[in-house]
Amino acid sequence: MTLYRALVVDVAANPFTTDPTAALRADDDCGLLVRDGRVVARAPYADLVRDHPDEETVDLREGVLLPGFVDTHVHYPQVRAIGGLGMPLLDWLRDCALPEEARLADHAYAAVVAEEFLDGLVAAGTTTALVFGSHFADAVDTLFTAAEHRGLRITAGQVVSDRILRGELLTAPEVALSEGRKLIERWHGAGSGRLRYAVTPRFSLSASEPMLDVCAELLGLTDGAWLTSHVNENGVEVEEVRALFPDRRDYLDTYAHHGLVGPRTVLAHNVHPTDHELDVLADARAWVAHCPTSNAALGSGLFPLRRHLERGVGVALGSDVGAGTGFSLVKEGLQAYFVQQLLGPAGVPLSPVHLLHLATRAGAEALGLSDRVGDLAAGKDFDAVWLRPAAGSTLAVNVAHAKDASDLLARVFALATPADVAGVWAADRPLRASTSLASGSSGGPY
Ligand code: GUN
Ligand code: ZN
């Protein structure tokens, strides 16, 4: 067993439905006793060390220990395509994202990109992710192999499309079915259950009705598989989908018609939904991945969070790398806050507790993993990120002057970057070298 000693901050309840102050759980000089990858006790460190004097203590009192972040929408083959600014969605896909995605046809290339991608997640403190895979089955296999090796919690699948996109990325529905089956057999439930399959039509713009039928078939034959795609991201895209599916009521209906919208569905963006679409999502208990830096970078629009919440649609955060501007869910949280501020009275004022919720607990719920991850209560996996601001940094100055845990979180969301991630663990396995683990505390927690 290992005893971790830290200021532990997490979210114990949904701050959108309960008092955010009460939802925040901040335990100064807290002990987490971890056995076989799980937190078995959470209590004042003094109590735990008294009861377990022989256990090794890992001293993380500098900075703050948070649950590992949960990214509900991130593209593996786009790690080298970040920063293509100045284009709306469809131009960006054609000129920036898809030429890079085509390169993953090469096994050796995909293997390097998979490592770069997982490095990016870990460096940002993300321990669980719903990953948009590659169009190439072999590249998806490569991703799962690399994720299993590291012990990350990844839900991912082969991206399928049979129209509109450049030729190398297209496949036939029968091929998608047989390749999907093989990947599911090999990977769904592998890695001690930390790996799962997500059926992934890219978006209905690039998927014919027979391809969407294949997606339904793959979903139907797999217990506990997920469905992920894009919806209502950009005005031109929405119009083109409408023209391609004249018999469907709206964009969401292009998926719902095939039985693809349910409690294990996560759809990215949804910047331009109708009220009816929100009602269908809520009834289905499907989730939306809000990707705020991507929405800003591509000029997709201002996310109507209030309408989602009022109609009962669950919302979590996605980095949407490579349209998003990096892997940091701290940055996504800050951008989500900015967008709601800019919406004025139509926006939802987000507190730091809301931001931590969106980056951790909400994602765990969206992925059906809230019994395992999303917070650091006893019984959960020890999936954690240790933020320790660099000495002399503006974040260090601000952390030292925070007046309480909520204020500390506000300063973290304003200032923290992957450079402040000093340690990451997945099921107690260190994912990134933690330096100075034994150093003592310097300064108070707030
Ligand atoms: N819609 C279809 N494919 C993509 C993608 O790769 N990124 C984003 N942001 N939207 C999409
Ligand atoms: Zn996306």
Question: What spacing in Å lies between the alpha carbon of 446 and ligand 1's midpoint?
Answer: 40
| DSSP state, residue 390 | P
d(CA 357, CA 236): 32
> What CATH number has the domain bearing residue 335?
3.20.20.140
Residues 350 and 423 in one domain: no
Residues 53 and 82 in one domain: no
In a domain, 177, yes or no: yes
In a domain, 440, yes or no: no
Ligand 1 pocket test target in 93, 164, 266, 321 with most atoms within 8 Å of CB: 93
C-alpha separations of 351 from 21, 23, 279 in Å: 9, 12, 26
Q: Which ligand has an atom closest to residue 74 CA?
A: 2
- Closest Cα to atom 3, ligand 1: which residue? 202
Question: What spacing in Å lies between the alpha carbon of 323 and ligand 2's midpoint?
Answer: 7
Q: Are 73 and 132 in contact (CB under 8 A)?
A: yes
Q: Which ligand has an atom closest to residue 323 CA?
A: 1
- Closest Cα to atom 8, ligand 1: which residue? 323
The 10s digit of each residue's pLDDT in 82-132 is: 999 999 999 999 999 999 999 999 999 999 999 999 999 999 999 999 999
d(CA 437, CA 182): 43
Instruction: Report how many domains make up the chain.
Output: 2
d(CA 74, CA 145): 18
Q: Which ligand has an atom closest to residue 201 CA?
A: 1
d(CA 178, CA 360): 35
d(CA 315, CA 305): 8
Residues 126 and 224 in one domain: yes
Q: Interior CA angle at 111 toward 105 and 116, to 5°?
A: 115
Question: What spacing in Å lies between the alpha carbon of 230 and ligand 1's midpoint?
Answer: 7
Residues 316 and 398 in one domain: no
Ligand 1 binding residues, C-beta < 6 A:
75, 89, 93, 97, 202-203, 230, 233, 294, 320, 323
Question: What spacing in Å lies between the alpha carbon of 88 and ligand 1's midpoint?
Answer: 11
Ligand 1 pocket test target in 71, 74, 75 with most atoms within 8 Å of CB: 75
Question: What spacing in Å lies between the alpha carbon of 205 and ligand 2's midpoint?
Answer: 13
Question: What spacing in Å lies between the alpha carbon of 93 and ligand 1's midpoint?
Answer: 7
pLDDT in tens, the chain (446 residues): 999 999 999 999 999 999 999 999 999 999 999 999 999 999 999 999 999 999 999 999 999 999 999 999 999 999 999 999 999 999 999 999 999 999 999 999 999 999 999 999 999 999 999 999 999 999 999 999 999 999 999 999 999 999 999 999 999 999 999 999 999 999 999 999 999 999 999 999 999 999 999 999 999 999 999 999 999 999 999 999 999 999 999 999 999 999 999 999 999 999 999 999 999 999 999 999 999 999 999 999 999 999 999 999 999 999 999 999 999 999 999 999 999 999 999 999 999 999 999 999 999 999 999 999 999 999 999 999 999 999 899 999 999 999 999 999 999 999 999 999 999 999 989 996 444 443 444 445 66
Which of 340, 367, 394 delimits the end of a domain?
A: 367
What atom in ligand 1 is closest to the CA of residue 78?
6
Residues 81 and 218 in one domain: yes
Residues 106 and 189 in one domain: yes
Q: Are 129 and 70 in contact (CB under 8 A)?
A: yes
Q: Measuring CA to CA, which residue among 8, 9, 14 is closest to residue 363?
A: 14
The 10s digit of each residue's pLDDT in 55-79 is: 999 999 999 999 999 999 999 999 9
> What CATH number has the domain bearing residue 20?
2.30.40.10
Residues 309 and 392 in one domain: no
pLDDT at 434: 40
Q: Which ligand has an atom closest to residue 267 CA?
A: 2
Residues 311 and 421 in one domain: no
What atom in ligand 1 is closest to the CA of residue 203?
2
Q: Are 154 and 203 in contact (CB under 8 A)?
A: no
In a domain, 441, yes or no: no
Residues 427 and 320 in one domain: no
Which of 335, 367, 399 delimits the end of a domain?
A: 367
Q: Are 143 and 200 in contact (CB under 8 A)?
A: no
Distance of CA 425 to the CA centre of its chain: 16
| DSSP state, residue 94 | I
**Domain housing 267:** 69-367
pLDDT at 433: 44
In a domain, 200, yes or no: yes
Question: What spacing in Å lies between the alpha carbon of 358 and ligand 2's midpoint?
Answer: 18
Ligand 1 pocket test target in 76, 78, 87, 89 with most atoms within 8 Å of CB: 89
Q: Interior CA angle at 95 toward 94 and 97, to 5°?
A: 75
Question: What spacing in Å lies between the alpha carbon of 149 and ligand 1's midpoint?
Answer: 28
Distance of CA 355 to the CA centre of its chain: 13
**Tokens at 145, concatenated:** 């192999």
pLDDT at 92: 98
